[in-house]
Homo-oligomer: A and B are copies of this chain.
Amino acid sequence: MQQTSNLPIGVFDSGMGGLTVLSALHSSLPQEHFIYLGDTARLPYGTKTRETVIKYAEQAASALVARGIKALVVACNTASGIALPALQKRFAPLPVYGVVEPGAIAAVHAASIAAIGTSVVVLATESTISSGAYQKAITKLAPQIRIFGRACPLWVTLAEMGNRDANLTRDILAHDIRGFLQKGPCVFLLGCTHFPVFSQALAEISSTVTVVDSAATTAAVVAEKLKTLNLLTNSLLKDNLLVDDLLSDAKQGQTLYLATDGAARFKQVGGQFLNCALDEVELVDL
């Protein structure tokens, strides 16, 4: 029987944006195996109701659990903001992590090292903003911080278009953030996994704002928690001092990619979120 600690980590997103989180997980945990599921047939989640987001998130999580995973990362802000408690309850004792709390940690940290009175502007989908999840997570960490939320419904499509026209991208981004540039020092928190592709463009529009996203912090939080739970690959085996496994420490983990529609498009567009070419993508039906 396979050791639990050697099972892959499941990661899911409504589509391809979550690959920015997977990319950070690859960097933090290079030896781990991953199964990434993008629910591309039903994206975006950001315009759906609470009930439908929970239903779809549970279906995606079930498909990953059925393949055998040791932990689940919800790499979709909308699903993290809305469905995390439902997923943690349903799949207990499986550890289930989201991206909202790590994103809040990143924003609060950035604000704390910036000027006094720096605000946080959450840029996200309609559902994430209206769920208030980021606002609550930031307030819990730093009640004194002023928080603004801005729904950016065009940005998901814009990101999936592959940033094909820099002028159009700049015009749309500038339109949506313009109102905040006069509000004093700001941290822009990219509260949608699609949005890190705009980090550079946002920095060019305003050199005075700090742009942060959840990806790196999520990867750090997941790595730390799996270590605490003794769930890192080979960690159980190392305690048993099996020489073969000690030797295999240097091995790179493998990633399996699943999508609910458009495997070819997933490979093509996904590469830009992952910052490298994708292997084969398997089509699944939820």
Q: Which residues of A contact B (CB under 8 A)?
A: 41-42, 47-49, 51-52, 153-154, 156-158, 160-161, 165, 167-168, 171-172, 175, 261-262, 265
Contacts and interface: CB of A to CB of B under 8 A. Distances in A.
A151 to B, nearest CB: 9
A153 B171 CA distance: 16
Contact of A47 (B48, B158, B160, B168): B160
Contact of A261 (B52, B157, B165): B52
Given A41-B48, A153-B161, A168-B172, 13 more contacts: A42-B42, A47-B160, A49-B261, A49-B262, A52-B261, A153-B160, A154-B158, A154-B172, A156-B157, A157-B157, A165-B175, A168-B175, A171-B175
Contacts of A265: 47, 49
A12 to B, nearest CB: 17
Contacts of A157: 153-154, 156-157
Contacts of A52: 41, 261-262
* 3 interchain residue pairs of minimum CB distance: A52-B261, A49-B262, A168-B175
Contacts of A51: 261
Contact of A262 (B41, B48, B158): B48
Nearest to A168: B175
Contacts of A42: 41-42
A48 B161 contact: no
A60 to B, nearest CB: 14
16 contacts: A47-B262, A48-B262, A49-B261, A49-B265, A51-B261, A153-B157, A154-B157, A154-B158, A154-B161, A154-B172, A156-B157, A157-B157, A165-B175, A168-B175, A171-B171, A171-B175
Interface centre among A41, A51, A156, A158 (most CB of B within 10 A): A41
A15 to B, nearest CB: 9
A52 B259 CA distance: 12
Contacts of A48: 41, 261-262
Contact of A154 (B154, B167, B175): B154
Contacts of A153: 157, 160-161
A286 to B, nearest CB: 12
A48 B42 CA distance: 9
A88 B161 CA distance: 33
Contacts of A47: 160, 262, 265
A261 B41 CA distance: 15
A5 B41 CA distance: 37
Nearest to A262: B49
